[in-house]
Structure 1
Amino acid sequence: MEIINPHDKLFREAGGDKAFASDILKNYLPRDVLKLIDLNTLEISKDSFIEKELKDYYSDLLYKINLADKPGYVYILFEHKSYKDRLAPLQVLEYMTKIWRLHLKQHKKEPLPVIIPMFLYHGQSRWKDTKFSDLMNDSASLLSDYVPDFKYIMLDLTQYPDEEIKGAVLSRVVMLLFKHIFDPDIIEKLPGIFSLMQEIIEAENGMQYLEVILRYIFSTIDVSDEEIKNVVEKSVSREKGEFIMTAMERWQNEAIKNAEKTIQIEAIQMGLMIKFKDKCQKFMAIINKIEDIEKLKQIKQAVIKVNDEYEFLKLIEQ
């Protein structure tokens, strides 16, 4: 089953873990910033500031944290395209403004907090700029007093050797996957990544992250079950390999079931819109909760045969 925006799914799933977030900040913030941060005050915000039409290309995470003993934020924008968008820093500025607006709603009389912007990039061309004013034309240097400017912390993963991607095992696996996901030889990189995944299995919430990582791999890489099996055999112990393959098989079975459920529900909804029109939404609220595929098939047939809405309601509530 295809996952909509797998980059976003993995980024937000991992980034919503406090240990992962703390690990990323500890390993990728500059030292002069890190020494002013109290990681014990880290809070994860569920807010996203990206416009709906851009969610296929960007993901974001907002962390509330004390900076120099004052409330502040670290904002991470992740561009998950294979090419560079030179105007991404402009979006960072727009999203920082949204964060300040949100903060002011809750703290109207307080000064604006500092926001440390980070930009995570894994495109194929190198990203050299690190300042907002790099977007400006040459007159900016002559009129600097009137030009908004800030530095953003650039994490261009393609410029990090694998051995310099540091941190706990989950952080390293996620960052290595993001780094290599557009590589034509990604299959050759997987054994090293899978060898790290052995530790994830034993960690707290390990199965949850193992599943998310496997989903990401199958949703972004053209890889067969046999290729994955070969990778697993080369890189992990037999016991852990069986564990990974079992998890993969379970997820694939669930994916097939979910795909079948989606097909049945879409067919039912189409029929209900034609037959019962304004009652369709009421019926679908019940039908969407049904997991039994055979039951959904019966309902699909009933849409064709049953003309009385009360009789149909009785059927779906059984």
Structure 2
Amino acid sequence: MAKKSLSYHDRFTRAMLANPRVIEEFFRKNLPDQVRDSLDFSSIQLQQESFIGDNLKTQIVDLLYKADFHGRPGFLYLLIEHASKADPLLPFRLLKYIVAIMEHHLKTTETKELPLVYPLILYTGKRPYNHTVDLFDLFPKEDRDMARETLMSPYHLVDLTQVSDNELRMHLWYGTMAQVLKHIYDEDIYPFFKVLIEPLKVIEVQGEESYINTIVTYVMGFGETPHQEDLYKVVKTLKTVDEEKLMTLAEYLKPKIYQRGIEQGLEQGLEKGLEKGLEQGLAEGAEKSKIEIARSMLVKGTDTEFIMSVTGLSQEEITKLMN
């Protein structure tokens, strides 16, 4: 009986709030002055999209109206709550719906500008709504000011292109990693790595073999240099780098089959003529190549942990290749 009554409630609410006169009067009555004054009421159009999950559709109605604010496209989002018990996390749920609306707008219009989405909640429960409608009240009291500042301020960007190497060298662990990320696209990685070898030796003394191997794998796998032999000689000065593993890297990490896989991926993506196709083609080509590399390394007897670090394949995927 409850589901039936909610279904009637849903149909009634949708029918009423699809009526242009009801829509205009409702928004004129309930919008704040600033929003109301910027809104072109003649532009309001009910949309078909819904952004609530199926599990909540017996408790909630959501209506999306496209509208112009100061001549620019935006949305009015009306969430109608007719559940018997109010949801204390409603502000968080509403935030997710707003983000979903923005994402849908970006996909359908292919624009790079976010639309204004003004949310309203029409609560029709049996008792007065007794929870907060402020998102930041959902955080612990001690964290609310920081949460507000974090979410409502410009995000913190660490742009390594604007940080000097000298500044990064002041921080051994983070700084070494950051320098590698900063220089990995150098046309020739060798001059940078010759300088990097000294902090790597300091780290090596502290017994961080995994850290060293991760950096060496990354640099040799993705860095470019016409001085490969010189690069190998410098890497070999690190005592924790196994020479057999080093030669495995040289032989397998950038073989022709890997390049061929990338080229096949590009070709497949371009044939599809869509960005999505290109991305999928690249991913499929690279994935096939990683599997070929892993198979070759297994034949050579390379240990699985090293294969995992080089190819990015999981233990389960490598085990399947062994069978």
TM-score norm. by structure 1 comes to: 0.44
Larger radius of gyration: 2
TM-score norm. by structure 2 comes to: 0.43
Higher relative CO (CA 8 A, sep ≥ 6), structure 1 or 2? 1
